[in-house]
């Protein structure tokens, strides 16, 4: 992280107006990321277009989703150049949502089980 910050600092063209909160990167970087987001979106659309099913479908959807989200947060939202303190303050709490996902998946499986065995509800 410190290496990335230093590289970013030395590459900054306008040192006079440069404060350390400012994010200044070459336009080309954004265009490359933009291109990759297009490629990844096309790829995830093709997953549906070619009717891939089962675990292959789900793993590809998740893979493309995580790559896209990572590119947006890291480059477009400049998270890659922030200090660890901000990165962990913002990115660590949503990981706890995964615990919530586990709880609710367990709960809804149970609901489904009771619905099948009592024949009630939908």
Partner 1 sequence: MAEHIETAQPGLAHAAPPMPRLAGWRGFFSDWASDQRAFKNVSWMKAMMWIFLLSDTFIFSCFLLSYMTVRISTTVPWPNPSEVFSLHIGGQNVPLILIAIMTFILISSSGTMAMAVNYGYRRDRTKTALLMIATALFGATFVGMQAFEWTKLIMEGVRPWGNPWGAAQFGSSFFMITGFHGTHVTFGVIFLFIIARKVLRGDFDHERRGFFTSRRGNYEIVEVMGLYWHFVDLVWVFIFAFFYLW
| Radius of gyration for the chain, computed over Cα atoms and rounded to the nearest angstrom | 21
Diameter of the chain measured on Cα atoms: 73
Interactions with partner 1, residue window 50-109 (CB under 8 A): 51, 57-58, 61-62, 64-65, 68-69, 72-73, 75-78, 82-86, 88-90, 93-94, 97, 100-101, 104-105, 107-109
From 7, 11, 56, 112, residue interacting with partner 1 (rule: CB under 8 A):
112
C-alpha torsion 61→67→70→74, nearest 10: -160
Cβ neighbour number for residue 34 with a 10 Å cutoff: 13
Residues near partner 1 (CB under 8 A): 1-2, 5, 14, 17, 20-25, 27, 30-31, 33-34, 37-38, 41, 44-45, 47-49, 51, 57-58, 61-62, 64-65, 68-69, 72-73, 75-78, 82-86, 88-90, 93-94, 97, 100-101, 104-105, 107-109, 111-112, 115-116, 121-122
């Amino acid at each position: 992280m410190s290496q990335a910050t230093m590289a970013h600092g030395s590459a900054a063209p306008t040192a006079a107006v440069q404060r350390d909160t400012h994010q200044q990167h070459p336009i080309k970087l954004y265009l490359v990321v933009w291109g990759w987001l297009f490629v990844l979106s096309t790829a995830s659309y093709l997953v549906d277009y070619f009717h891939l099913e089962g675990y292959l479908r789900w793993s590809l959807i998740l893979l493309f989703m995580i790559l896209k989200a990572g590119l947006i947060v890291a480059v477009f939202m400049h998270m890659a150049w922030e200090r660890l303190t901000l990165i962990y303050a913002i990115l660590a709490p949503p990981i706890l949502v995964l615990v919530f996902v586990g709880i609710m998946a367990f709960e809804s499986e149970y609901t489904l089980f009771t619905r099948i065995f009592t024949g009630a509800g939908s």
